[in-house]
Structure 1
Amino acid sequence: MRKKDILNLIKFHAEKNELQFRNEAMKIAEYFDDNGDHQLAEYIMSQFSTANTFIPQSDSFDSKFLKKVEFNFEPLPLPKEIAEDIKGIINAVNHNVGVNKFLFKGSPGTGKTETVKQIARLLDRTLYIVEFSELIDSKMGQTSKNIVSVFREINTMPFLSNIVILFDEIDAIALDRINSNDVREMGRVTSTILKEIENLNSDAVLIATTNLFENFDRALVRRFDTVIDFDRYQKEDLIEIAESILNSLLKTFKNAGRETKLFKKIIGNIDPIPNPGELKNIIKISLAFSDPSNEYDYLKRLLRYTLEKNEEIELKKLHQMGFTLREIEILTGISKSQVSRDLKGE
């Protein structure tokens, strides 16, 4: 337990801030419990329960800068290399040795934000995202003050060991100095972030994401324990991810038929195959726009993403792309025998 915890307890009591006083007392109780003094921890907790007062849980935390994020339970397939790194993060957090600050870099749509949600779910922690719309302020010096405030809130959150904090697209505050007319102001912002991350409570788990790593401040990068690169998708990875996305969506679009081999062949002909975020939208729109009376209409719509703009679906073209007669029949509605004759020039 740090001197700061005792000082905070005295400060909140003097200010008659009951909620923060209780939160700080709960943190102290957790400290004693984690260090084996369960009797003292229970005694502190009992002082609130016998007084019929509310013991705040992480779900009850209220903040101007932090917003609770709800999980979804859709599958999130990742390439083996990235998946192993994510397992490493979960192991590091469970070891509880102070390795708690992680930076996810990669192109838009590579699954950075969704992966953070999965990490929080697997750790059984509540996820909070920083609201940059509230954090960034046009007034001189106010953004730096807001950054100090949000980190103070994080460091004093009740049950911090049950929480994950997400700085999604941290570029909003880490890179603004490049385009700002007031370089001094953005310098102060950068310095503030560096200092606050350095002093982050060791119970916290902080994950930041960036699409602009090449322009990222090197000093800020060094404040993170590790950087995970999400730009490591091979073609085979994306085809497998597309199949997983389809299987999930088919639970909703029950009129659509399942032709896995044909579906994967269509995806494989997209050049280049988009990142998972865009890929999911393409598959979802193809299903949503499809004719409910034709179970394979979505495959025909999906096929158009493999063609040039306004290019017609020609039998010869499909044959050159490696589709079988049966697959061409599904995609065009023309019988296999007719397709065969047409390809032979009859």
Structure 2
Amino acid sequence: MKKQNILNLIKYHVERNENAFRNEAVNIAKYFDANGDYQLAEYIMGLIAESNLYVPQASDFESEFLKQIDIRELQPLNLPIEISNDIKGVINAVNHNVGINKFLFEGLPGSGKTEAAKQVARLLDRTLYLVDFEHLIDSKLGQTNKNIASVFTEINRIPCANKVVILFDEIDVIALDRVNRNDVREMGRVTSTILRELDRLTDLNKEIVIIATTNLYANFDKALIRRFDAVINFDRYSKEDLMDVAEHYFTSFVKNFKGISRDTRLFKKILKTASELPYPGELKNIIKTSLAFSDAKVEYDYLRRLYNSLIGNIEETNVEQLHEQGFTVREIEKLKGESKSSVSRKLSKEEEIDE
């Protein structure tokens, strides 16, 4: 037990912060229990129980800047094996309980960083809190700095620290390079405050898990990067990975649409023909809107829309070009909405011209 634990007890008592006082007392009991002094640990817990007052849980915490996120019905993620292994490593690191608890997820928008953070909280069976930057950033000079300090004060007061994950989603909003000429001094001071508070958090509370995400890793403050125990790169999707993700989304969505003929083979061929596929977030939206915007009276209209989004304008693409791209007569018929005989005739005419 450190001197800081005693100081915290006194501080919380003076502030009449009963929740924080009890949480600190529970942490002290855990310390004695871990060091073999079971009787003293039981005595402390007994005193808490005898007070006849409710011992707060992590999910009971209310905050101005922290929003609890519901993670009870998350769908499994289709991440590349390399990223999945790193996420498993994050879970293992936290479970080892050796103070490795701060992680930075970096990558392009839509690469799955935020959803992966939610999955980490779910797999650890922890309550997830999201830092609300909308209320955190203030136009008044110096107020954002004060709000940052208040956020970390609240984080340190959350009951049951070993049952919490804090998510700083798109932390680059407040943590860009302090020496970047395009950055205002106020944001530089904010970043310095985050550095100080993260160091303080490490000293006071090694059980709360911190996950931050960023789309702008190249502009991220280098000193702040060093405060994280591990950086996970989410820009590791091959085209095959993205095709697997797309097929997963398609299978999940298409069953909800009546009157649409499911053609997984042509769906996959369109994906394969595309020169480049977007990352999962955008890919998910493209597939969803292709289905949702399709004409219910035209069974393959969603595939035409998918082609338009990923390859080019189907109306301006003739049957010969589609044939060169590897599509069969039957597939061209579905994409162009023309009869089989019409498609065959146009292809035959083109072959005659070539001869």
Q: TM-score, normalised by structure 1?
A: 0.90
The residue number in structure 2 matching 1:95 is 96
The residue number in structure 2 matching 1:241 is 245
Q: Secondary structure at the residue paired with 1:274? A: coil
- Residues 161-216 of structure 1 show CA distances to partners (whole Å, capped at 9, x for unaligned) of 11111111111111285477852x43332221112112222111111111111111
The residue number in structure 1 matching 2:322 is 318
The residue number in structure 1 matching 2:15 is 15
Q: Secondary structure at the residue paired with 2:316? A: coil
Is 2:177–2:219's contact at 8 Å kept on the other side of the alignment? no
Q: Secondary structure at the residue paired with 1:104? A: strand
Range moving further from structure 2, 142-151 or 92-101: 142-151
Q: Secondary structure at the residue paired with 1:202? A: coil
Q: Which among 218, 221, 224 is matched to residue 217 of structure 1? A: 221
Residue type at the aligned position of 2:159 = P
- Residues 11-57 of structure 1 show CA distances to partners (whole Å, capped at 9, x for unaligned) of 22223232332333333344445555555445444444444322211
Is 2:177–2:221's contact at 8 Å kept on the other side of the alignment? no
The residue number in structure 1 matching 2:346 is 342
Q: Which among 318, 326, 333 is matched to residue 329 of structure 1? A: 333
Query: How far apart in 2 are the matches of 1:68 and 1:134?
Result: 15
Q: Secondary structure at the residue paired with 2:211? A: strand
Q: TM-score, normalised by structure 2?
A: 0.88
Q: Does 1:57 align with 2:74?
A: no
The 1:31/1:335 distance shift into structure 2, 3 A limit, reads farther
State the 1:276 CA deviation.
0.7
State the 1:83 CA deviation.
1.3
Residue type at the aligned position of 1:81 = E
Is 1:26–1:158's contact at 8 Å kept on the other side of the alignment? no
Q: Does 1:205 align with 2:205?
A: no
Q: Does 1:126 align with 2:127?
A: yes
Q: Secondary structure at the residue paired with 2:227? A: coil
The residue number in structure 2 matching 1:151 is 152
The residue number in structure 2 matching 1:66 is 66
Is 2:107–2:217's contact at 8 Å kept on the other side of the alignment? yes
Residue type at the aligned position of 2:3 = K
Contiguous gaps of at least 5 residues in structure 2: 351-355
Query: How far apart in 2 are the matches of 1:73 and 1:251?
Result: 19
Contiguous gaps of at least 5 residues in structure 1: none
Residue type at the aligned position of 1:14 = V
Query: How far apart in 2 are the matches of 1:244 and 1:193?
Result: 39
The 1:213/1:287 distance shift into structure 2, 3 A limit, reads same
Residue type at the aligned position of 2:75 = E
Q: Secondary structure at the residue paired with 2:349? A: coil
Query: How far apart in 2 are the matches of 1:133 and 1:341?
Result: 60
Query: How far apart in 1 are the matches of 2:119 and 2:337?
Result: 41
Is 1:180–1:186's contact at 8 Å kept on the other side of the alignment? no
Range moving further from structure 2, 223-232 or 328-337: 328-337
Residue type at the aligned position of 2:250 = L
Query: How far apart in 1 are the matches of 2:167 and 2:338?
Result: 52
Query: How far apart in 2 are the matches of 1:325 and 1:25?
Result: 74
- Residues 275-312 of structure 1 show CA distances to partners (whole Å, capped at 9, x for unaligned) of 11100000000111123344432112211123435852
Aligned length: 345
Query: How far apart in 2 are the matches of 1:39 and 1:313?
Result: 80
Query: How far apart in 2 are the matches of 1:314 and 1:246?
Result: 26
Query: How far apart in 2 are the matches of 1:32 and 1:325?
Result: 75
Residue type at the aligned position of 2:319 = L
Is 1:106–1:229's contact at 8 Å kept on the other side of the alignment? yes
User: Cα RMSD (Å) of the superposition?
Assistant: 2.4
State the 1:255 CA deviation.
4.2
Q: Does 1:258 align with 2:262?
A: yes
Q: Secondary structure at the residue paired with 2:174? A: helix
- Residues 127-150 of structure 1 show CA distances to partners (whole Å, capped at 9, x for unaligned) of 111111222223333222222221
Runs of 4+, deviation exceeding 6 Å: none
State the 1:67 CA deviation.
0.8
Range moving further from structure 2, 59-68 or 305-314: 305-314
Query: How far apart in 1 are the matches of 2:20 and 2:161?
Result: 13
Query: How far apart in 1 are the matches of 2:327 and 2:302?
Result: 16
Q: Secondary structure at the residue paired with 1:98? A: coil
Is 2:177–2:188's contact at 8 Å kept on the other side of the alignment? no
Is 1:270–1:305's contact at 8 Å kept on the other side of the alignment? no
Is 2:32–2:40's contact at 8 Å kept on the other side of the alignment? yes
Is 1:130–1:167's contact at 8 Å kept on the other side of the alignment? yes
The 1:251/1:34 distance shift into structure 2, 3 A limit, reads farther
The 1:202/1:181 distance shift into structure 2, 3 A limit, reads closer
The 1:33/1:62 distance shift into structure 2, 3 A limit, reads farther
Query: How far apart in 1 are the matches of 2:248 and 2:104?
Result: 26
Q: Secondary structure at the residue paired with 2:128? A: strand
Q: Does 1:270 align with 2:274?
A: yes
Range moving further from structure 2, 294-303 or 199-208: 294-303
The residue number in structure 2 matching 1:175 is 176
State the 1:256 CA deviation.
3.3
Is 1:125–1:164's contact at 8 Å kept on the other side of the alignment? yes
Residue type at the aligned position of 2:118 = K
State the 1:118 CA deviation.
1.1
